[in-house]
Amino acid sequence: MFYIRNFENEFEFFLDMLYESIHIPENKPSKEVLLNSPDIRKYHEGWGRKGDRVLIAFNTEDQTVGAVWYRLFDDNKKSYGYIDGNTPEIGMAVSKEVRGRGVGTLLMHKIIQQAKDEGYNTISLSVDLENDTAINMYQKLGFKDYEVVGTSKTMIYKF
C-alpha cells in the first residue's frame, strides 16, 4: 500500500527523482552534473514559484518511493514538453524497488486531479521514445501524442 502527500520538506528527494526521470540508458552523467546542466536546471531552479507542484509517494513505513511534479514554463524558457505558458509540464519517477506495483499510476492520477482542481485545461509531458513502459502507462491514462522532437515524444492530457 502506498499513499501520497503534498511536497513539504522532501526537496532532495524531488531532486533524486528528477535525476531518475531523465532517461539516459548508458553513460548517464552524475546527478550533480546532469541537474546543473542548462537544459535540466530550469526544471528545479527557484522551485516554489507559482505553478510549481510536487506530490510524493510513501510506503507504509513512511519511506519516500516516488514523486510526480509539474511546472509552468514560457516562450523564453521552454521545456522539452512545452505546449504554452498555461500548460504545466509533468515529470515523474518511482524508486526502482517499487516499480511495477502501481505507484506511478497512483501518482499520475493524483497529479491529474491536482491540475484539474487548480483550473488547468491541459497538462503535458515529454517521454523518451524508447521508454515503452511509460508511454503505455500515459496512453492508458488518456494522454495523446502531440509531437515528436528528436528522441522525445510530447504527450498531452485535456480535461
Q: Render pLDDT for 121-136 as a digit per residue (tens, 0 to 9).
A: 999 999 999 999 899 9
Check residue 5 and give its pLDDT.
67
CA 60 to chain centre: 23
The mean per-residue pLDDT over the stretch 20-40 comes to: 92
Q: Are 81 and 69 in contact (CB under 8 A)?
A: no
Check residue 26 and give its pLDDT.
86
Report the predicted TM-score, pTM, of the whole model to 2 decimal places: 0.91
What is the Cα–Cα distance from 131 to 128, expressed in whole angstroms?
A: 5
The mean per-residue pLDDT over the stretch 144-148 comes to: 97
Instruction: Give tens-digit pLDDT for 46-85.
Output: 998 999 999 999 998 988 999 999 999 998 888 889 999 9
The pLDDT mean for the chain works out to: 92
